[in-house]
Structure 1
Amino acid sequence: MSQFVTDLWESIFTPGATPTLLIATNVSFAALQLVLFALLLATWSVHFVILSFLCGGLWWAINWFANEVRIFQEREEQEKRSKAGAAADADNEASSSSSAEETEVETVIARGRPPVTGSKEVEPLQKKGELKRRTAEAASEQSVGSKSSASTEDEWEKVSENEKDK
């Protein structure tokens, strides 16, 4: 029993649902169901029936979630193993099939990488145009030193002038 308590204490600080923590959770919910049933028999109150259904639903949801997490972890481990096995097989095939007649492209394809192909001609990029500084921004930048505050103030001034014109 002391080993179980020690494992339970350590499982609190371990990420994920450990078997010890799941056992403690199931025992706790079973004890709660027994207490709710005893209170139902003692008082004949419908509240304990409702609480028992809520407790059962939560109990089921926790176990369902823990099971889904376990299934997901198993799938991840399987994928890691299959990827590691496939990579090892590809490396073994590449090293065993390499010979003096093999070309660089065949080696690249055998390792799972596409060959680098392309044109030897260089296409010039079209020059779109250069960025020009606005005159108001350049003037205010010298006095204020902030690009964003100058442009924002200029924009507000333009909006104010447009509103006055209406």
Structure 2
Amino acid sequence: MASFVEDLWSSVFTPGPTPTLLIATNVTFAALQLVLFLLLLATYSIHFVVLSLLCGGLWYSINWFAAEVRLAQQAQDAERKKQQPDPDNPRPDASAKSSKKTSAVDSADSETETETLASGATIPRSSAIATGSASSARLQPVGRDAHKRPSMSGDSSGYGSTDSEWEKVDTQL
């Protein structure tokens, strides 16, 4: 029993459905179904039938999902085995070709912003703003005054009243 609890605890931190976790899940759902059946017999309430159907559907879907995950893991393992080179048939010429390709790409074909900046060239301000690499270049919203704060009153009409308008209201009364 202690071994099962230890296996259950470690299976919680293991990715994928482990056999120990599936056993615990199935035992728990079986116990829940038994409790719901006993409550149905004790009360004759339709609620326990509905709860039992929901429990059964969830129980089935968990087991189905665990089987699908297991199949996906097996397919990934088969793909990994297929991609790994065969130790009986080494091909040294293929590894030499791949190392030549990477060294050629690293040396001349790769032009990135960091390489350009490291070599001393500068990026024009317009391209720096477009790429977002200049931290001091901030875009201002179009059509708004940069010094005016937006209204925090929740007034969505965009109409702001002034004190002089309130004075007009007072004189009319």
TM-score interval w.r.t. the shorter chain?
0.5 to 0.7
2:36 aligned with 1:36, yes or no? Answer: yes
Q: Which residue of 83, 86, 89 maps to 1:88?
A: 86
Secondary structure in 2 matching 1:15: coil
Rounded to whole Å, the distance in 2 between the matches of 1:22 and 1:56 is 15
Q: Which residue of 152, 155, 158 maps to 2:140?
A: 152
Q: CA deviation at 1:64?
A: 0.8
Mapping of residues 1-166 of structure 1, within 5 Å = 1-84=1-84, 87-88=85-86, 92=90, 94=91, 147-148=137-138, 152=140, 156=144
Secondary structure in 2 matching 1:88: coil
- Cα 1:43–1:76, aligned 2, differ >3 Å: closer, same or farther? same
Rounded to whole Å, the distance in 1 between the matches of 2:8 and 2:26 is 13
Q: CA deviation at 1:20?
A: 0.4
Q: CA deviation at 1:10?
A: 1.8
- Cα 1:55–1:147, aligned 2, differ >3 Å: closer, same or farther? closer
**Which amino acid is 2:51 matched to?**
L
Identity over aligned residues, as a percent?
53
Rounded to whole Å, the distance in 2 between the matches of 1:71 and 1:51 is 30
User: Where do 5+ consecutive residues of structure 2 fail to align?
Assistant: 102-123, 127-135, 146-173
Q: CA deviation at 1:153?
A: 7.6
Secondary structure in 1 matching 2:140: helix
Rounded to whole Å, the distance in 1 between the matches of 2:125 and 2:9 is 66
Rounded to whole Å, the distance in 2 between the matches of 1:132 and 1:11 is 54
Rounded to whole Å, the distance in 2 between the matches of 1:15 and 1:3 is 20
Deviation digits for residues 49-92 of structure 1, max 9, x if unmatched? 000000000001111111111100000000011111xx438x63
RMSD: 3.5
Counting matched residue pairs gives 114
- Cα 1:7–1:153, aligned 2, differ >3 Å: closer, same or farther? closer
Q: Name the structure with the higher helix share.
A: 1
